[in-house]
Amino acid sequence: MTGAYRTPNFRGWRVAILHREDANAARLERQLARLGIVCVRSWPALDLADGPFDAVFFDGDAGFDGQFPWANEDPPIPMIAIVGSEAPGRLEWALAQGARAHIVKPVSSSGVFSALVLASALLERHRRQARRIADLEKRLSGRPQVIDAVIAVMAACGVDQDTAFARIRSAAMSRRQTVEAFCAARPPPTSPTASRATRPGGKRDEDGMRATWRS
């Protein structure tokens, strides 16, 4: 199967290991080195002066609030928890830091690559969804202006709702804009303009459209 996400080549990545010095941290560093990844160990807090980093492995058992220099649940890079305890409170804390994958203690030779792939893919999906939501919210906020524009074109050109919207959409596409952006940039015509566009003997269609919005 082929999906939208392509597994990155991790060779050359720079990864932080936020964990006390112990056998788990040492084994994790060896596994990452085999993938061609440069590791930087840090404790008790992540120091951005050692970065930039492409991902972070952090201790989900001994971690605490304030370890990361960004807002919880919104990390800019993939976050992977190193988990030994299944206590609900510790798992909730790891999730609150934005963990999108985990490996278990004691760290072994398996699971590290999969965790990197999953965390990277899920972060990219989260970013795409955030962009889509922001775009939808922006377009939704412009809907009242679209409705006003449709009503104005119906009055100016003497057409029905569907035809009015189709004309607005066509004009927006010709300017490579969304309908919402197009309507926001061109307020509906005033009543005198509309009356001129629909006066007896006048051209009710294209002239009315031009009277509605002047480029």
Q: What is the DSSP letter of 72?
A: T
Give residue 145's pLDDT: 87
Q: Is 96 exposed, middle or buried (0-12, 13-18, 19+ CB in 10 A)?
A: exposed
Contact predicate 158/198, CB 8 Å? yes
Q: What is the mean pLDDT of the chain?
A: 84
Residue 215 above 80 pLDDT? no
pLDDT of residue 99: 95
List, for residues 182-199, the tens digit of each pLDDT value: 888 876 654 444 444 433
How much of the chain, in percent, has pLDDT values that exceed 90? 51
> What average pLDDT score do residues 147-158 get?
89
Residue 176 has pLDDT above 80, yes or no: yes
Which residues have C-beta within 8 Å of that of residue 209, sequence separation ≥ 6? 153, 156, 157, 167, 171
Q: pLDDT of 19-38, one tens digit each?
A: 999 999 999 999 999 999 99
Over range 169-173, report the average pLDDT. 91
The tokens describing 128, both together, are 């795409």
CA angle, 114 as apex, 111 and 119 as ends, to 5°? 120
**N-to-C CA span, the chain:** 48
201-207: average pLDDT: 45
Query: What span, in angstroms and rounded, lies between the C-alpha atoms of 63 and 18?
Result: 9
Interatomic CA distance for residues 84 and 10, integer angstroms: 25
Domain positions in the chain are 14-135, 142-212
Q: pLDDT by residue (tens digit) across 68-103?
A: 988 777 899 999 999 999 999 999 999 999 999 999
Length of the chain in terms of residues written: 215
pLDDT at 158 over 50: yes
Strand order of the sheet with strand 55-59?
A: 38-42, 14-18, 55-59, 79-83, 101-104
Measured distance CA(19)–CA(62) in Å, rounded: 8
Place of tokens 């002066």: 49
Q: Tokens for 3?
A: 């999906």
Please give the class, per CATH, of domain 14-135: alpha beta
Spatial separation of the C-alpha atoms in residues 152 and 22, rounded to whole Å: 71
pLDDT of residue 181: 87
